[in-house]
């Protein structure tokens, strides 16, 4: 409850700020001047970095142990672009097959009609990958010999990243979160995940996948200009049934030395449980 209240406030702030930036009422402290707004943003980022570094991130570039939390919430995955884009421009970059284009339009139409197609998390199923990566909740990396375990606050999702260098066992089943194998390329952690079932979405908004989905993540730790530490995750999505070629999205995960994971029970009082495959608000 405390975490959700906190998130709600965060979203409200982001929403209010973005309204202001898009022509809403100017923020009193920024005064509508772009330079003043940039200075305010710099000050906020520096304050955040100091707060989040109270317990510092590990200095070893290959050690991601600890809690990371993406900023805000973007319910879509889109290809990385070399300049800022409108949602329409960005969606146009998606290399969709005709199957995926039709599927995506159906998702958008159903949502517009107020009857969104039920996504796996509405039933307390694991979110799927990369859907889980977008979730606006913290994640903790835990290192142990031959294994990196990702503990996600959201709906207690757990990812096991196998570092034994072996392929997935022959009897590996198809699952919501698939089978993940990791290895290091320099200081970049490369995670390849496959063996997915076809019951999750790529993103919350509209993108789907099939059994041939393979997701390659490339995670690199860096220090931003405010002294904050972040993981950059480049997420390459391959599924020849749904996309004509691989494409790569990006997420950033700031270090959060100021928090621990909270307990999240999806199963308690699940008001989003779907009826006949449609999400309903109860």
Partner 1 sequence: MKPRTALAAMALVAVFAGTSAVAQSGAGDAAPVFEQPAAGTPNFTGKWVNTKAGGRLLTANGSEPPLTAKGKTEYARRQAALKSGDHKIDPTSTCLMHGIPRLLYAPYPFLILQTTRNVNFVHEVNHTFRNIYWGTMPPADADPTYLGSSLAHFDGKTLVIDSVAFNDLTWLDYSGLPHGEKLTVQERYTLSDPQTINGSVTITDPDFYTAPWTSRFTLKRQPGMNLKENVCTDTHQM
Between CA 239 and CA 220 the distance in angstroms is 24
Per-residue b or e along 69-90, where b marks 16 or more CB atoms closer than 10 Å to that residue's CB:
bbeeeeebbbbeeeeeeeeeee
- By CB under 8 A, residue 265 contacts partner 1: yes
- By CB under 8 A, residue 124 contacts partner 1: yes
Between CA 103 and CA 29 the distance in angstroms is 45
Report the residue from 20, 143, 216, 241 that binds partner 1 according to the rule CB under 8 A. 143
Does residue 147 sit in helix, strand or coil?
A: strand
Report the residue from 181, 192, 259, 278 that binds partner 1 according to the rule CB under 8 A. 259
Please provide the distance, in angstroms rounded to a whole number, between the alpha carbons at the two ends of the chain.
Answer: 19
- By CB under 8 A, residue 177 contacts partner 1: yes
The answer to whether 184 and 190 are in contact (CB under 8 A) is: yes
DSSP letter assigned to residue 63: -
Cα–Cα distances in Å, from 25 out to 18, 109, 170?
10, 32, 59
CA quadruple 40, 44, 45, 49: dihedral sign? positive
User: Which range binds partner 1 by CB under 8 A, 22-30, 142-150, 216-224, 230-238?
Assistant: 142-150
CB of 7 to partner 1, least distance (A): 6
Taking the least distance from each CB to partner 1, the nearer of 178 and 243 is 178
- By CB under 8 A, residue 158 contacts partner 1: yes
- By CB under 8 A, residue 113 contacts partner 1: no
Give 143's strand partners. Answer: 148
| Subset of residues 17 to 76 that bind partner 1, contact rule: CB under 8 A | 54-55, 65-66, 73
User: Which range binds partner 1 by CB under 8 A, 83-91, 212-220, 247-255, 264-272?
Assistant: 264-272
Taking the least distance from each CB to partner 1, the nearer of 86 and 144 is 144
CB of 257 to partner 1, least distance (A): 7
Site residues for partner 1 per CB under 8 A: 1-9, 11-12, 15, 54-55, 65-66, 73, 121-126, 136, 140, 142-145, 147, 149, 151, 156-158, 160, 169, 173, 175-177, 204, 257-261, 263-273, 281
């Amino acid at each position: 409850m405390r975490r959700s209240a906190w998130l709600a406030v965060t979203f409200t702030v982001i929403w209010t700020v973005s309204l202001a930036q898009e022509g809403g009422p100017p923020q009193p402290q920024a005064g509508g001047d772009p330079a003043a707004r940039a200075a305010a943003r710099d000050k906020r980022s520096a304050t955040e970095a100091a707060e989040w570094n109270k317990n510092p991130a590990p200095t070893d570039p290959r050690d991601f142990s600890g809690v990371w939390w993406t900023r805000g919430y973007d319910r879509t995955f889109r290809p990385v672009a070399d300049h800022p884009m409108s949602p329409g421009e960005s969606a146009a970059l998606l290399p969709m097959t005709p199957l995926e284009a039709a599927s995506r339009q159906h998702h958008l139409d159903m949502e517009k009609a107020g009857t969104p197609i039920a996504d796996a998390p509405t039933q307390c199923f694991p979110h799927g990958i990369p859907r889980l990566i977008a979730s606006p909740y913290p994640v903790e990396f835990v290192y142990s010999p031959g294994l990196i375990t990702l503990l996600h606050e959201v709906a207690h999702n757990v990812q096991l990243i196998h570092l034994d260098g072996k392929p997935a066992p022959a009897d590996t089943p198809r699952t919501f979160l698939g089978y993940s194998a990791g290895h290091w390329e320099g200081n970049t952690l490369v995670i390849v995940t496959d063996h997915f079932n076809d019951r999750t979405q790529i993103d919350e908004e509209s993108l789907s996948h099939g059994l041939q989905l393979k997701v390659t993540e490339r995670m690199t730790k860096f220090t931003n200009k405010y002294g904050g530490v972040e993981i950059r995750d480049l997420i390459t999505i391959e599924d020849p049934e749904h996309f004509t070629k691989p494409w790569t999205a990006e997420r950033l995960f700031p270090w959060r030395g100021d928090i621990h994971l909270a307990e999240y029970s999806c199963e308690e009082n699940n008001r989003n449980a779907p009826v006949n495959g449609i999400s309903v608000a109860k």
